[in-house]
Amino acid sequence: GENVGLHLPTLSVQEGDNSIINCAYSNSASDYFIWYKQESGKGPQFIIDIRSNMDKRQGQRVTVLLNKTVKHLSLQIAATQPGDSAVYFCAEGGAYNFNKFYFGSGTKLNVKP
C-alpha cells in the first residue's frame, strides 16, 4: 500500500505559538491531500484539503503546504489554542482511486496553556 507517514508522533506547543505538523507521502500519482483532526471519542474532522495543482492553501488559522518535489505535506496552525489539542492525520488520495485514502499514523498535538 501507500506509505503516508508523519515525522513527529507527538508535538507539544505553548498556547499562542504556531504549530507545524509534517507528513510524507510516497505515491507521486496522488493528487489530492487532506488534513484531519481527531479528538478523543470522535471521528476525524475535516480541516483543509489541497490538490496537486496548488502548493499552498489557507483556511482560518490553518495553512497547508504541498511540496511535490519531495512529496511532503505540512499543516501550519497559527496562534495555537487549547482546543487544537488532538491527533492530526494527513490523508493521500487521487482521482484514480475514488475515495480510497491512505492515512498517516497521526501526530498528537498537545497545547500547553
Least spacing, CB of residue 13 vs other proteins, in Å:
23
Distance CA(70)–CA(85), nearest Å, equals 28
Q: What is the Rg, in whole angstroms, of the alpha carbon atoms belonging to the chain?
A: 13
Least spacing, CB of residue 51 vs other proteins, in Å:
8
Classify the C-alpha dihedral 71-30-60-109 as positive or negative. Answer: negative
Interface residues toward other proteins, by CB under 8 A: 1, 31-32, 34, 36, 41-46, 49, 51, 89, 91, 93-95, 97-106
Q: Closer to other proteins at the Cβ: 77 or 102?
A: 102
The contacts found for 96-101 with CB under 8 angstroms, 24 or more apart, are: 96/29, 101/34
Least spacing, CB of residue 94 vs other proteins, in Å:
7
Classify the C-alpha dihedral 21-97-100-60 as positive or negative. Answer: positive
Least spacing, CB of residue 26 vs other proteins, in Å:
15
